[in-house]
A = this chain, B = another copy of it.
Amino acid sequence: MEKFELHILGCGSALPTTRHFPTSQVLNVRDKLFMIDCGEGAQLQFRRARLKFSRLNHIFISHLHGDHCFGLWGLISTLNLLGRTAELHIHSPRGLEELMRPTLAFFNRQMTYEVLFHEFEADAPAVVYEDRSLTVTTLPLRHRIPCCGFLFAEKPGLNHIVREMVDFYGVPVYELNRIKNGADYVTPEGKVVPNHVLTRPADPPRRYAYCSDTVCLPGLSESLQGVDLLFHEATFATDNLVRARETFHTTAAQAAELARSAGAKRLLIGHFSARYEDESVFLQEAQEIFPAAQLAKEMLCVSL
């Protein structure tokens, strides 16, 4: 299976603690790196995770709160110092470009590469990225300011060639692409070899959903049906249920409910409030409802 790995660079919330960096993640899809949010220190953590800057071309920002984007200035400047030439694409709710352009220009008198901002309205789902193997769709969330999550969905892959059978029937190389795409093979003698004999099914396409920051939105479960991994914010535990609602955040139990009703395969929770010294309460409350829940932590890498 080709790589589909999530790296947690930071999973704290707005207030810094000695335990967590603010929010940032990197999804590695077949060695293309997609950064999701870019809190302060993201570039340091990126290095620590031994990821390669040259593989990073797209950054997705959920919303314009500082703990989700203050790392952009440093990261962009570093890429400039490194002499990057490839364009860097930043996808975010409206407003980021206007905010960043003056400071970026000041701190980077000469840019070796271009930063392209792609801004979207956060209130309706939209495909914000697409390539041969992946689409990224926004998931409108409800927070104090416009905010959305992101659904990373692999496209269905091609069937795998079964080398022994292809050799056995002497299939010529130029036929292989058609066969991967589902065609049968007809021998020179006119014998039809059905596709399923020559191939085994493609790997099931994988999906990763990122939801932070938001009140719990049970209605999301439809868009999240069967995701392989759901990252959901769990800023509070049930002891702060009211506060969670007031501040437009979610509790660990609510995140677990959503994972269950969406039929997610796994749940990762993070964005923990600084007030919890002991985070085991998040895990307990989530696992009671959804056993395949796990706490995010810095440098965790989850492979799908």
Once A65-B107, A73-B66, A102-B102 are accepted as A-B contacts, the answer to whether A16 and B40 lie under 8 Å apart by CB is no
Once A99-B102, A103-B99, A106-B99 are accepted as A-B contacts, the answer to whether A44 and B21 lie under 8 Å apart by CB is yes
Contact with B along A15-45 (1 / 0, CB 8 A): 1111001100000000000000000110110
Closest B-chain residue to A44, C-beta based? Answer: B16
Q: How far is the CB of A93 from chain B (nearest CB, A)?
A: 13
Task: Identify A43's interface contact among B40, B48, B64, CB under 8 A.
Answer: B40
How many copies of the shown chain assemble into the complex?
2
A71: interface (CB < 8 Å): yes
CA distance A95 to B74 in the complex (A): 19
**Count the A residues whose beta carbon is within 8 Å of the partner chain — how many?**
31
Can you name 29 A-B pairs with beta carbons within 8 Å? A14-B78, A14-B81, A15-B78, A15-B82, A16-B43, A16-B44, A16-B47, A16-B78, A17-B47, A18-B47, A18-B48, A40-B40, A40-B43, A40-B44, A40-B70, A40-B71, A41-B44, A64-B106, A66-B73, A66-B74, A66-B77, A67-B74, A67-B77, A70-B70, A70-B73, A95-B106, A99-B102, A99-B103, A99-B106
Residues of A whose CB lies within 8 Å of any CB of B are 14-18, 21-22, 40-41, 43-44, 47-48, 64-67, 70-71, 73-74, 77-78, 81-82, 95, 99, 102-103, 106-107
